[in-house]
Structure 1
Amino acid sequence: MDLAQLQDIKRLYKRVFSTDDGIKVLEDMKQRFFFDKSTFSNQPHEIAYNEGQRTVVMFLENMMTDIEKVEQMKQQQEALNE
């Protein structure tokens, strides 16, 4: 995926999860999937499972942030190609 595609997909994530419904869904996922709490368990497999759930929510958050950084990277890449 090139920077332009990354920038476009990040905008889509932000658009979807910035709606009233998207905000509610993301908040629900954060509460259900250990976003702000420990994934600790006495069972190693359960920790791995919990971390997998948490990682998805972290990915969604990341896809909605740092769009400006992607734009800066794109500009730098374009400058290098000139």
Structure 2
Amino acid sequence: MAFDPLELHCAYRRIFDTPDGQAIMDDLEKRAGFLRSNFSTDPGRTDFNEGRRSLVLHVKHMCDETNFINKEILQ
């Protein structure tokens, strides 16, 4: 099932603007090392950690209304 990009942004925002969504985002940020260095002496571990962090960045990008394609529709 494909969504248009604006609707997908709106769906992310609807989910993560709830108290449950915020609790999930907080958990994801902690698990992904969002606010700390993900460097490891094991290059494979660094790549893995950065992959987790990248997913959190994607969700945050999708929730940010300044990234919406048609911002005026949402106001």
Task: Name the larger-Rg structure.
Answer: 1
Point out where structure 1 has 5 or more consecutive residues left out of the alignment.
73-82
Equivalenced residue count is 69
TM-score normalised by the chain length of structure 2 = 0.84
Provide the C-alpha distance between the structure 1 equivalents of 2:48 and 2:67, rounded to a whole number of angstroms: 32
TM-score normalised by the chain length of structure 1 = 0.77
Alignment of 1:9-48 (within 5 A): 9-48=8-47
Point out where structure 2 has 5 or more consecutive residues left out of the alignment.
none
Report sequence identity in percent: 28
Q: Is this contact kept in 1: 2:32–2:52, CA < 8 A?
A: yes
Per-residue deviation, residues 1-52 of structure 1 (Å, max 9, x unmatched): xxx8111000000000111000000011001101111111000000000000
Higher relative contact order (CA 8 A, sep 6+): 1
Runs of 4+ in 1 over 2 A off after TM superposition: 66-69
| 1:8–1:67 CA distance, 2 compared to 1 (3 A) | farther
Q: Is this contact kept in 2: 1:34–1:50, CA < 8 A?
A: yes
Provide the C-alpha distance between the structure 2 equivalents of 1:33 and 1:10, rounded to a whole number of angstroms: 22
Structure 1 vs Structure 2 CA RMSD: 1.7
